[in-house]
Amino acid sequence: MPEKPIQGEKRMFVTGNEVVAWAALAAGAEIMYGYPITPQNEIMHYWTRMIPKYGRRFLQTEDELSAGFTTVGGVLAGRRAFTATAGPGNTLMQEPISMAEAMRLPIVVVVQQRGGPSTATVIYSQQEVTLTTLGGNGEGLRVVYSTATHQELFDYTIKSFNTAWKYRFPTFVLGDGYQAKMRESLMFYDPAERGIEMVPTDAYVGRPGMPGVDRAPTHMRNTYNMEEELYDVLQGYLADFAKAAPEIAEHEAFDTEDADLVIISHGVVSRACKMAVRELREQGYKVGYFRPITLRPMPEKAMREMAGKAKQLLVVESAQGQLDRLVKEVIYGSTAEMLSLFKPGVGVTSEEVITRVKEIKG
């Protein structure tokens, strides 16, 4: 039995991509499949350097279609399997992810968002929100965690394996190029030492016994002959998703109780918003902070309650309204004025958020 990758608590100062590789190791991920694309490459680099010591595996595939479908295969074999991608790779990855949705396969995908559309930049964006939450030719039956710090990148990478295997929906860690490449401090830990129990995996194919004699053969399909067959299957899935949603949904908020204006953001942009809210509060502005951590499912109850109290909602994101659309869907009927600070493909600083709020408040 190889030793545990992480023993005790360890303060680290590393890039986000290295954080993901370590977290996957700590979570007991057994195999990664991947295809090179910036800015996620170093996840594969660190993973491939570390795995011989811990008896884990890696396959570099011919493209992201294959990376996604081999990950599907890894999960079918009963392994904690994951892949990582970005931008145009995420576009291709939607095909295998839709198969995972159709067959309730617990694949884990780490996305380090880059600029879009098309090849755009390899640097940063929050433009893969729509694709990651609702991509594929289906109903968005997936879980998406949007992280903001290296600590969260570590925590939620571990958590994503548990969410995926508990609920059997494909699960994403939605990071970005900034988080991928920057260095900051965080604590590494072994999940077991923190009392985090890893949800056990089991194999869909290749289980012991003679199929048709000792056990039923596994016969899994994603194709149906009749509309009604599909409808029935989807009704079951949708009911499961609706039931799981309140258990999965997470958010972070402060100063919303008495706020006239609440700033809504997600991921790394919420760091700028958090700073801005603190500074504006010091200056006497009645502003609040709300951040969905899960973008799919959304923290609907908390968001509706917040929107019911605020007079104005300012959505800030490094995209042209991708979060904004998700928010509006949730708070439909709220009378709060919707305001925005959209910077597609570009980082947002706290200075910009403060300027925007002051512009609104006159």
Partner 1 sequence: MGKPIKIVLAGEGGQGVQSVAEILAEAANEKGREALYIPNFGVEQRGGVSVAYLQIGDEKIGAPKFQTADIVIALSDRAVTRTRKYVGPETVFVYDSGIENIKDELPTNTNKIYAIPAIEVSKKELHPRVFNVIIMGAVLKATGVVAMDDAKKAIEKKLGYKFEKNPELREMNFKAMDRGAELVADLS
Partner 2 sequence: MTVQPAMPKCWRVETKPHKFCPGCGHGLVLKALGQAIDELGIQDKVVFGCDIGCSLLSWDFFNVDTIQTHHGRTNPVVTGIKRANPDVICVAYMGDGGGYAIGSQHLVSSATRNERITAILVNNTQYGMTGGQMAPTTMPGQKTETSPYGRDADTTGSPTQGPEMVAAIAPEGAYVARGSVANMKQLKNYIKKALENQMAGNGFSFVEALSLCPTNWRTNAKDTWKFLEEDMYKYFKVGELKVPGPREKEGQ
- Residues near partner 1 (CB under 8 A): 11, 13, 38-39, 121-123, 149, 177-178, 181-185, 268-269, 271-272, 274-275, 347-352
Q: Which residue has the tokens 């709300």?
A: 290
- Residue among 59 and 346 whose Cβ is closer to partner 1: 346
- Residue among 331 and 353 whose Cβ is closer to partner 1: 353
- Residue among 74 and 116 whose Cβ is closer to partner 2: 74
Binding segment for partner 2 (CB under 8 A), chosen from 9-17, 64-72, 307-315, 341-349, is: 64-72
- Residue among 74 and 297 whose Cβ is closer to partner 2: 74
Contact call for residues 97 and 107 (beta carbons, < 8 A)? yes
284 binds, among partner 1, partner 2, none (CB under 5 to 8 A by kind): none
**Count of CB atoms within 10 A of residue 316's CB?**
26
d(CA 62, CA 339): 43
203 binds, among partner 1, partner 2, none (CB under 5 to 8 A by kind): partner 2
In this chain, which of 46, 79, 113, 123 binds partner 2, going by CB under 8 A?
A: 79
In the chain, the largest separation of any two C-alpha atoms, in whole Å, equals 76
- Residue among 213 and 226 whose Cβ is closer to partner 2: 213
Q: Give φ, ψ of 188 to 5 degrees.
A: -90, 145
d(CA 95, CA 344): 25
243 binds, among partner 2, partner 1, none (CB under 5 to 8 A by kind): none
Task: Classify strands 337-342 and 294-296 as parallel, antiparallel or unpaired.
Answer: unpaired
- Token representation of residue 349: 């600083």
Binding map of partner 2 across residues 94-133, x = CB under 8 A, - = no contact? -xx--x----------------------------------
**Count of CB atoms within 10 A of residue 69's CB?**
21
**Count of CB atoms within 10 A of residue 329's CB?**
10
171: left (phi over 0), alpha (psi -120 to 50) or beta: beta
Please give the residue ranges that form the binding site for partner 2 (CB under 8 A).
30-31, 33, 57, 59, 61-63, 65-66, 69-74, 76-79, 81, 95-96, 99, 203-213, 217-223
